Amino acid sequence: MQTTAKIKPEIRKFKTAADYTCNFIIRDQIDPYLKNGHYINESRIMRQLADAAATPNPNDPVRIREILAKSRQIETLLPEETAALIQVTDKALLDEMAATALAVKKAVYDNRVVMFAPLYLSNLCVNSCEYCGFKSCNSNQKRVMLTMDEVRREIEVLAGKLGHKRLIAVYGEHPSTSTAYIAETIRTAYAQDIKAPNGAPVGIRRVNVNAAPLPIEDLKVLKEVGIGTFQVFQETYHRATYKRLHPQGTVKGDYDWRTTAFHRAMEAGVDDVGMGVLYGLYDWKFELLSTIYHARELEAKYNIGPHTISFPRLEPASGTDLPSTSPYLIDDDTFLRIVMITRLSVPYTGMIVTCRESPESRNACISYGITQMDAGSNIALKGYSEYESQSPQEQERQQFMLADTRSLEEMITYLARQGIITSFCTAGYRCGRTGGCIMDSLKTGKEGKFCKINAVLTFREWLDDFASEATKKICEPVLNQELQAIQEHLPLFYPTVKEHYDRICAGERDLFF
Ligand code: SAM
Ligand code: SF4
The yes-or-no verdict on residue 3 having pLDDT over 50 is no
Q: Which residue has the higher pLDDT, 435 or 154?
A: 154
41-99 pLDDT, tens digit each = 999 999 999 999 999 999 999 999 999 999 999 999 999 999 999 999 999 999 999 99
Are residues 202 and 159 in contact, defined by beta-carbon separation less than 8 angstroms? yes
Which one, of 225, 311, 242, 236, lies nearest residue 274 by Cα?
Answer: 311
Rounded CA-CA distance 500/199 in Å is 20
- Mean predicted lDDT score pLDDT of the chain: 92
Q: How far is the CA of 487 from the centre of ligand 1 (A)?
A: 43
Which one, of 106, 118, 169, lies nearest residue 420 by Cα?
Answer: 106
Q: Which residue has the higher pLDDT, 173 or 8?
A: 173
Average pLDDT over residues 269-282: 97
Q: How far is the CA of 171 from the centre of ligand 1 (A)?
A: 9
What is the structure's pLDDT at 436? 62
What is the structure's pLDDT at 297? 98
Rounded CA-CA distance 105/166 in Å is 21
What is the structure's pLDDT at 2? 41
Atom of ligand 1 nearest to the CA of 276: 16
pTM, to two decimals? 0.93
Pocket test residue of 20, 135, 209, 250 for ligand 2, highest count of atoms within 8 A of CB:
135
- Give residue ranges with CB within 6 A of ligand 2: 125, 127, 129, 132, 134-135, 172-173, 252
Are residues 409 and 467 in contact, defined by beta-carbon separation less than 8 angstroms? yes
**Residue 235 in contact with ligand 1 by CB distance below 6 A:** yes
Atom of ligand 1 nearest to the CA of 170: 7
Q: Which residue has the higher pLDDT, 58 or 8?
A: 58
Task: Give, using CA atoms, the residue closest to atom 26 of ligand 1.
Answer: 314
Q: How far is the CA of 238 from the centre of ligand 1 (A)?
A: 17
Q: Which residue has the higher pLDDT, 2 or 378?
A: 378
Q: Which ligand is nearest to the CA of 257?
A: 1
Pocket test residue of 123, 126, 137, 173 for ligand 2, highest count of atoms within 8 A of CB:
173
Provide the b/e sequence for 221-245 (b: ≥16 CB within 10 Å): bbbebbbbbbbbbbbbbbeebbeeb
**Residue 173 in contact with ligand 1 by CB distance below 6 A:** yes
Paired strand residues for 380: 398
Task: Give, using CA atoms, the residue closest to atom 14 of ligand 1.
Answer: 233
φ/ψ (deg, to 5) at 148: -65, -30
Q: How far is the CA of 121 from the centre of ligand 1 (A)?
A: 13
Which one, of 283, 281, 264, 265, lies nearest residue 273 by Cα?
Answer: 265
Task: Give, using CA atoms, the residue closest to atom 6 of ligand 2.
Answer: 135
**Residue 170 in contact with ligand 1 by CB distance below 6 A:** yes
Torsion of CA 78, 83, 89, 91, to 10 degrees: 20
Q: How far apart are the first and last CA of the chain?
A: 45
Atom of ligand 1 nearest to the CA of 132: 20
Task: Give, using CA atoms, the residue closest to atom 1 of ligand 1.
Answer: 172
